[in-house]
């Protein structure tokens, strides 16, 4: 019986580490360039969804979130970036809408704190990358709350 628990734990850690590496790559690129090329985003989407399909972890409710997030990005004329919408969509489709919303709102709080400390009230049109905040919160929620993300 112990072997089954160990195998499940290793499998969970492996999926988590792959998610962290993929999100980490996107976070670094977004932080440096403040945009993510489709050449980087497309392989991440393929790998992320392939692993989710292989492990039978696709959430049907996440598809509604995908439509909403992509529409939000288009409606705001990229004020909410398309890459941000796609990353949150990947989380929604594979980890569930509730987990995606928890990550999104917590990342927004962290983002607002960072923007307030960095700029205060002086610059309004400053662009900040959002995926690094998603990345940080993804790790924090997984480690401290032990949620199946």
DSSP letter at 36? -
**What's this model's pTM, rounded to 2 decimal places?**
0.81
Average pLDDT over residues 115-122: 73
Q: Between 115 and 121, whose confidence is greater?
A: 115
pLDDT score of 5: 47
Distance of CA 90 to the CA centre of its chain: 7
Quote the CA–CA distance of 42 and 57 in Å, as a whole number: 20
Structure tokens, 35: 């945009």
pLDDT digits (tens, 9 = 90+) for 52-100: 888 888 888 888 988 999 898 889 887 788 899 999 999 999 888 998 9
pLDDT digits (tens, 9 = 90+) for 24-43: 999 999 899 888 888 888 99
3-state secondary structure 78-128: CCCCHHHHHHHHHHHHHHCHHHHHHHHHHHHHHHHHHHHHHHCCCCCCCCC
Contacts of 24 (CB under 8 A, 6+ apart): 135
> Of how many residues is the chain composed?
149
pLDDT score of 144: 78
Q: Between 145 and 107, whose confidence is greater?
A: 107
Average pLDDT over residues 86-115: 90
Q: Between 11 and 36, whose confidence is greater?
A: 36
Mean pLDDT is lowest, of 39-48, 56-65, 131-140, for 56-65
97-134: string of b/e by CB count within 10 Å (b at 16+)? bebbebbbebbeebbeeeeeeeeeeeeeeeeebbbbbb
């Amino acid at each position: 019986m112990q072997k089954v628990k160990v195998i499940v734990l290793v499998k969970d850690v492996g999926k988590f580490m792959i998610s962290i590496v993929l999100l980490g790559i996107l976070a670094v690129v977004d932080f440096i360039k403040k945009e993510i090329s489709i050449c980087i985003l497309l392989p991440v989407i393929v790998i992320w969804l392939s692993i989710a399909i292989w492990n039978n972890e696709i959430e049907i409710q996440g598809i509604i979130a995908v439509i909403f997030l992509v529409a939000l990005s288009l409606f705001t004329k990229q004020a909410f970036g398309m890459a941000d919408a796609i990353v949150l969509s990947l989380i929604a489709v594979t980890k569930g809408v509730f987990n995606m919303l928890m990550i999104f709102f917590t990342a927004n709080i962290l983002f607002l704190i960072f923007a307030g400390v960095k700029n205060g009230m002086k610059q309004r049109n400053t662009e900040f990358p959002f995926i690094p905040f998603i990345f940080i919160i993804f790790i924090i929620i997984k480690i401290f709350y032990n949620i199946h993300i």
